[in-house]
Amino acid sequence: MTRVAVLATLDSKHEAAQFVCAALREAGAEPWLVDLSLRPHAQGFADVNGEEVARASGTTWDTLAKLSRADAAQTMIAGATAIVKKEATRGALAGVLGVGGANGSTMACAVMRALPLAFPKAMVTPVAATAAVQWYVAESDIAMFPTVGDISLNRVTRAALRNAAEAVAGMAKARAVRAAEAKETDKHKPLIGVSSFGNLQPAVDRITALLEAKGFEVIHFHASGPGGRALESLAARGELAGLIDLTTSELTDFVTGGVYSAGEGRLRAAAAAGIPQVVAPGALDFTNWWVGEVPERYRGRGFFQYNVEILLMRTNAAEFETLGALIGERLASSKGPFEVLIPLGGYSQLSTRRMHDIAGKDIGPWAQPETDAVFVSALRRHLPEERIRELPHHVNDAAFADACVEALARLMAGR
């Protein structure tokens, strides 16, 4: 039978956990129940009890009672992650299913995020219907199943729990079949990452077509925060053979506090992993804000309303100075070959547009070559001259896309 780990806190969710285990058996999978409870209790039917999980993190279940709820949760996360990863690595697991509320989701999803992408994983929880879901999933591929009601058994939650169990069982069984077939037939192509935005679609499309014509497989990372974190995660896991980091705009949002920041880790993991990378300042010329939520300190700046939800703010010289130093410092530590290509014709499709003030009044052209040049000057103070190449193209010109692919091919061949 296909073995699926079930992650739950049995001190409070034991009935739901038992129901899910029964549903997995009915769906043709073997449940393997791991207890994430933060305190000892009387429910003794787990395959891996809380004492074992606590011991795997270097402590005891009783000791957890002396910790804060947050510290106890982190301790159990560490122990459960070690146990579940070990079973998954040795091929003894085919999927993972978490059951719980907010705290249970925090713990179960943290364990699942440590597992490889494409490994079947799902969380069934009432918080799947909240905005917090982006933090539970983060850079992973966890399927979230909302229970509608809180975790107690009734006709509504039973249906949700059963659907989640059947989905995970189906994914796990299908993955096992595909894995067996792959051993016989699959010829894995090198996977190349390309950071993307709709703003840079012409460049992304051409780069993708050129790479695929060269025999590569391509994955796009949408530069909206989770995409950048996923990029860095796959690079750190050794999944990427190369990277064209065309859309580095998440770093602008990181510097300004915009809504599409990928956090402190952007441009770090790929450098540490030593993979060949071509980097460009694509869409670095703006910050993303939700319409109506621009902080007061920025309300005197130039903007472009991209759609009904997003308002773009033009990057100024001071921010470009910071970005040049930040990108330069992070790339300077790279363990692999890299090159930065600068499109002098403009960093985004907004180069041909007009700026407006916060009230919508025209205040001049978006294109500001002298402002963009501040970024290049700052970058040059941190990187060797041969690592930077300025090209007389717009970022969306076919010639610039061609140069990106040529540069990556050269860097990869050099290895």
Backbone angles phi, psi at 411, to 5 degrees: -65, -40
Query: Hey, which residues does 48 pair with through a beta bridge?
Result: 34
Backbone angles phi, psi at 129, to 5 degrees: -100, 10
Give the HSE-up count for residue 305: Cα atoms under 13 Å, Cβ half-sphere: 13
What's the confidence (pLDDT) of residue 185?
A: 45
pTM of the model: 0.77
Q: What tokens were used for 45?
A: 């039917």
What's the confidence (pLDDT) of residue 187?
A: 55
The average pLDDT across 74-84 equals: 96
156 and 15 in contact (C-beta within 8 Å)? Answer: no
CA gap 284, 315 in Å, rounded = 7
Tell whether the model's pLDDT for residue 324 goes beyond 60: yes
The average pLDDT across 228-246 equals: 93
> How are beta strands 354-356 and 362-365 bridged, if at all?
antiparallel
Helix axes 69-89, 102-113, angle to 10 degrees: 40
Tell whether the model's pLDDT for residue 10 goes beyond 90: yes
| Between 308 and 254, residue with greater pLDDT | 254
Burial class of 220 by CB neighbour count within 10 A (0 to 12, 13 to 18, 19+): middle
- In tens, the pLDDT along 246-272 reads 999 999 999 999 999 999 999 999 999
- In tens, the pLDDT along 84-109 reads 999 999 989 999 999 999 899 999 99
Please report, for residues 146, 220, 221, 233, 249, the alpha-carbon distance to residue 192 in angstroms, rounded to integers and kept in the order given: 34, 9, 11, 14, 19
Q: What tokens were used for 294?
A: 């621009």
Nearest to 7, CA basis, from 39, 45, 41, 34: 34
The average pLDDT across 286-308 equals: 95
- Mean pLDDT for the chain overall: 93
DSSP string, 18-59: HHHHHHHHHTTEEEEEEE--SS--S----SB-HHHHHHHTTS
Domains of the chain: 2-182 (3.40.50.12020), 191-410 (3.40.50.12030)
Backbone angles phi, psi at 268, to 5 degrees: -105, -50
